[in-house]
Structure 1
């Protein structure tokens, strides 16, 4: 059906003073024969919005192109019926606010932006939400420690049915052996009693919570709102359908057997912090070697943590746990000698008050590096250390007990690395580095990409650590507590509450056919034209979120509710069989072809900027907001993720006569910033194939460049764009101009 399009041009915010509005309107009416083209001094005003809304509701138009401010602003103002196509053209931040007013080049830039917007609107269709039957909004919580109990409680209190699975025969996790908790209320100087039974009773008595103890998750298949979970309990299999999963399987202490240099295993009076807790809980604190009372004790912090030979990271809670346990001894006997050997004390927030109170109680803090532990000749122990500040040797007094504050290792860190499906003869070699997935037998996902969550090199589940801390790379599965990152009790409670909220958000959005982060609310999803599929498997291998499985013949089996709508699969597909209703390879290619390229004699080169919508595009907006200028040869085209870039776009641009292509994506590597995890890295890998395209067209490699940009790098962009323009002047015009 032919579209009925309307173009609405705003003259407010300086646009009307800087641009020839009639010439701009002529692009719509003369070049594209748009039947409705209207100007308004302030389209974002109630009158301006009413103008557009009236035309949409009357049926005069079904597609609106709004040429005004950035699509990143006024999103609520220009929110119309979801069955209408609305395309925004950024004339304010990226044209008028960043280029000279009433300038020929500025006018040409505005007109090209409008051409691209009209082209996209002409080819876009309104997304139709993915619908499925038997959707579930139940929440599965795996792990029954403090974080698991909290997540189950919070989800149930919000009105959602919750299933809690614990592998042991009793809820509580690490708390089962804990004597007291660090202070969490004023004056933050005294320890708090632990009411574990009260917590367990609260969750088990909730009518919306089903608890399985002595049980494990045998298998998880499906996708958000359609997860089919097999739970093994007492030799039986129970099948449950759930909408999302909160993973709270916790952490275990770092293996103390590896700390022989600190005397563990050599001296019975060297124990770990977790071994001390049950001694106080039972009220029987004695020396393991001879059963005598403990009158002098030392704590060694960072025992194995912040150590390149053991755990390179800080385990976060060890300092506070040692302060708490030092308080145990001072409460039991104020005259006891208590020492704490530390590298740095990390007692942040209100824990600082506990630290100061212990100083008043007489605890002796020694900032030194422990070099060894020896027998003093009478059966007691002495600690040898070096003072960090003076570099002088330190020898402790005779000690009855030494407690090692060894760090924590996530439960996901165990097991052999999962080996992805082997490459078959004739298949293209995998270009993308394989994810780190440990077969730790926790979730047992039936995913082509592996049975557990992708992990960082230390075993913690990977996520976008800056913007989305609860997210994993498996949609609908949210790690919380110490399985996600080292943390103390108070933070674990907050963490579990946040993960429960994310799980609820997930089921509610998926039930409406919407995407979760970072394109939250997106109703589109990829569609596959299977008749042309060659079973190359690149879409399944490159999807950062495991959204695509495969059948026995290697055909992709997409799971729309797992999909984050990044378009990485679209960029990966050499046959271009994957598209969205409002984002496709052909659509972007036609947007590129709509750019007017002057011939070489006009000396007005053209630069196509493919800008990631998550960081690079808003950074370009920031340049305009700060009124920072850059070269007017630039034509900016936002992409969902740089990983969605298909190589045909490069060929289209160069064949069109565009002189240079700048790819602006997020930082990649170990500390990646890409919202879609691998997008920028994939684009970087594809640069090698771009070289092949350039060689085929007999063009210079300098015509295509990739830059890593975060939103905070906006101040660098003018220089990057100007430098690239200067380089293209050296290279000379694209010889394909005019063809």
Structure 2
């Protein structure tokens, strides 16, 4: 804990005019016996910062409370080193900018926020980074296709050792099977020889890259900086110590045998883009039925993609692949009739130039619905469709070859689907009568073979792609230190794959460097705290190991949680899950937040000034509250805001503390959750919602109404909704009446 706390009040940005700073100073000096309390017109200025720095150096201040602007701004200005605790009290964005300046209620709000800031600073301890000895800075890349090769080359260029594992005898993957590729250079509309061979030569010539072909990862144990990968090769088994992992195992074409309604398997001259590519590489594109050269060809786009019965998503590269293959025919014989039937043609970025050239070459496009394929005479095909642009039926006869542009399925979605934690969740639901949190889903795809309690592969989204947060954190999977790149992460074309693999390599490097310093990688980047476990209080309930979204906890032989600190993302979900309060962080713990709640002044009932505590997720809800202030939206004067790392860290004891204190209502604002989630910690908001389902028992025990606690999902751009959300909750509290515990 801080030995000497000082409070600094900023009078700039209208704070001096909107608040009674002398009264605020008395809160610090009289109530909390703070000896150093100073006011400055611009604490964020060089002079203001120097004022604080001098007190740190000369007065021995090691706890700094800054009452002024939001903690989301001027973060570097108010960084006084790792040994000084800094607590920011938001009096601007969530004070005078969204409440009337000079008003009694605004002053009371500012004083309560200052009380909570002082209490938090007093309870906090300086985090001690968890530093790993003998950390490895080698990067393991699994998959030797375009994404894997690019990731390996980029990491090696940055002077990091790389171990590249490829299951086939040769590197190259899908890109090595191409006849031609679209040029990556201007004018972007030509076809050229695939450059994958040059990339392979660069890998083989780079001394920083160790390559294993005909190899497979048998198992991976450990954590970031300390992964041990057991690899089976042609010559036996080897173990490599690595610090981070890039998964670049790519995707496979959708099973065309499921597309019988488009003629595949029924008509021999209906093939897939992959089959056409192989023919082109062999030097002759022919009709499978009789070996004759194809003189007319039709491409059917979205064959199985964007279809709820097959692949609900767009496979991204199918359109471009069909445009490229259409030029195979036109470059060889301009008189070849080529048709493209599409729903929506997608040629992103520079591929627009390719699209224009294909048009100029005479390829005929139909935007069509309900495309049907029939067999005519001499094994030729007839295509019937509805041209939605011309609003007329189209019939194309005597087609030699129909090519289905099948979508892509990530390798992480292959094999048997496994649901992790389903039995434990079901048992928990029976005991506690609450809705179940969606367990992690993964496929037994035999790629990573992790020795994690939570399962051997990566948890996946509903389409089978591994991801941690598809909006804010691309590349990052739900297993810290393991980054997905290329088409295993999302459908993409070659250009995007190269960019994607470079990004994944950079994230792996970031992981290595921050882990070496004992810092979190994401989303709480640079955080040096980590959870500490008081195992003497542990009852082996397994809630922390089940609910951790990132596999940061295993279990020992006695079923005690076995933490892996370098896997941890510091969300504190485990802290919120623990009924025994056995888990804490030095600068964030159950008692700290509870003491902040208890620091709020609750007026007597006859004063008619209700109080609402808002627990706001710091990732979306808290910045949304700031945005409301920036936009000068009026918020209820009843609210007192406490930021949480994640609503997953919300412990039910805080609600009990608030209601026992006489607080009239508790509003929890967190990220959206569900299949298309936005929660930065994946499951935090969902877990909080689950825990709240059990709060009725606590409220019944206190003889209080369940309406006094509410959770609302918000995203950062929902700031305009906040006044209405808070006002609706306040009106409901008025109907319910004051908390009967006021004054006790």
Q: TM-score, normalised by structure 2?
A: 0.97
Q: Are positions 1:555 and 2:560 aligned together?
A: yes
Q: Name the structure 1 match of 2:397.
A: 397
Report how many aligned residue pairs link the two structures: 739
Q: Name the structure 2 match of 1:156.
A: 156
Match of 1:488 among 485, 488, 493: 493
Q: Name the structure 1 match of 2:66.
A: 66
Q: Name the structure 1 match of 2:549.
A: 544
Q: Name the structure 1 match of 2:273.
A: 273
**Matches for 1:312-711 after TM superposition, within 5 Å:** 312-389=312-389, 392-420=392-420, 428-429=428-429, 431-711=436-716
Which whole-Å deviations, capped at 9, do the CAs of 1:648-692 have from their partners, x for residues lacking one? Answer: 000000000000000000111111111001111111111111111
Q: CA deviation at 1:417?
A: 2.1
Partners of 1:633 and 1:373 lie apart in 2 by 66
Partners of 2:193 and 2:168 lie apart in 1 by 24
Partners of 1:2 and 1:55 lie apart in 2 by 14
Q: Name the structure 2 match of 1:309.
A: 309
The answer to whether the 8 Å contact 1:427/1:536 transfers is no
Q: Name the structure 2 match of 1:190.
A: 190
Q: CA deviation at 1:144?
A: 0.3
Q: CA deviation at 1:235?
A: 5.7
Partner SS for 1:367: strand
Q: CA deviation at 1:307?
A: 1.3
Partner SS for 1:246: strand
Q: Name the structure 1 match of 2:13.
A: 13
Which whole-Å deviations, capped at 9, do the CAs of 1:343-366 have from their partners, x for residues lacking one? Answer: 111112221222121121111112
Partners of 2:416 and 2:426 lie apart in 1 by 28
Partners of 1:260 and 1:421 lie apart in 2 by 37
Partners of 1:261 and 1:427 lie apart in 2 by 43
Partner SS for 2:499: helix
Q: Which shows bigger deviation, 276-285 or 568-577?
A: 276-285
Q: CA deviation at 1:5?
A: 1.2
Q: Which shows bigger deviation, 421-430 or 156-165?
A: 421-430
The answer to whether the 8 Å contact 2:467/2:475 transfers is no
Partners of 1:715 and 1:480 lie apart in 2 by 36
Q: Are positions 1:49 and 2:54 aligned together?
A: no
Partners of 1:260 and 1:732 lie apart in 2 by 65
Q: Name the structure 2 match of 1:86.
A: 86
Q: CA, structure 1 residues 663+457, in 2 after alignment: closer, same or farther (shift >3 Å)?
A: same
Q: TM-score, normalised by structure 1?
A: 0.98
The answer to whether the 8 Å contact 1:370/1:383 transfers is no
The answer to whether the 8 Å contact 2:131/2:515 transfers is no
Partner SS for 1:169: coil
Q: CA deviation at 1:15?
A: 0.7
Partners of 1:424 and 1:453 lie apart in 2 by 19
Q: Which shows bigger deviation, 451-460 or 586-595?
A: 451-460
Q: CA deviation at 1:193?
A: 2.0
Q: Are positions 1:199 and 2:199 aligned together?
A: yes
Partner SS for 1:437: strand
Q: CA deviation at 1:38?
A: 1.0
Which stretches in structure 1 are left out of the alignment for 5+ residues?
Answer: none
Q: CA deviation at 1:736?
A: 0.2
Q: Name the structure 2 match of 1:286.
A: 286
Which whole-Å deviations, capped at 9, do the CAs of 1:382-434 have from their partners, x for residues lacking one? Answer: 22222234554322120221111011100111111225368589974584321
The answer to whether the 8 Å contact 1:654/1:734 transfers is yes
The answer to whether the 8 Å contact 1:428/1:536 transfers is no
Q: Which shows bigger deviation, 519-528 or 427-436?
A: 427-436
Partner SS for 1:6: strand
The answer to whether the 8 Å contact 2:373/2:381 transfers is yes
Q: CA, structure 1 residues 728+490, in 2 after alignment: closer, same or farther (shift >3 Å)?
A: same
Partners of 1:59 and 1:580 lie apart in 2 by 27
Q: CA, structure 1 residues 725+422, in 2 after alignment: closer, same or farther (shift >3 Å)?
A: closer
Partners of 2:424 and 2:355 lie apart in 1 by 60
Partners of 1:433 and 1:310 lie apart in 2 by 23
The answer to whether the 8 Å contact 1:423/1:429 transfers is no
**Aligned residues: CA RMSD:** 1.5
The answer to whether the 8 Å contact 1:570/1:584 transfers is yes
The answer to whether the 8 Å contact 1:341/1:370 transfers is no
Partners of 2:637 and 2:424 lie apart in 1 by 49
Q: CA, structure 1 residues 184+426, in 2 after alignment: closer, same or farther (shift >3 Å)?
A: closer
Q: CA, structure 1 residues 235+420, in 2 after alignment: closer, same or farther (shift >3 Å)?
A: farther
Q: Are positions 1:167 and 2:172 aligned together?
A: no
Partners of 2:343 and 2:477 lie apart in 1 by 32
Partners of 1:594 and 1:477 lie apart in 2 by 42
Q: Which shows bigger deviation, 592-601 or 293-302?
A: 293-302
Q: Name the structure 1 match of 2:433.
A: none
The answer to whether the 8 Å contact 2:341/2:366 transfers is yes
Partners of 1:435 and 1:424 lie apart in 2 by 12
Partner SS for 1:383: strand
Q: CA deviation at 1:59?
A: 4.4
Q: CA deviation at 1:341?
A: 1.2
Q: Are positions 1:38 and 2:43 aligned together?
A: no
The answer to whether the 8 Å contact 2:425/2:437 transfers is no
Q: Which shows bigger deviation, 234-243 or 153-162?
A: 234-243
Q: CA deviation at 1:367?
A: 1.8
Partners of 1:166 and 1:2 lie apart in 2 by 53
The answer to whether the 8 Å contact 2:82/2:126 transfers is yes
The answer to whether the 8 Å contact 1:10/1:41 transfers is yes
Which stretches in structure 2 are left out of the alignment for 5+ residues?
Answer: 431-435
Q: CA deviation at 1:463?
A: 2.3
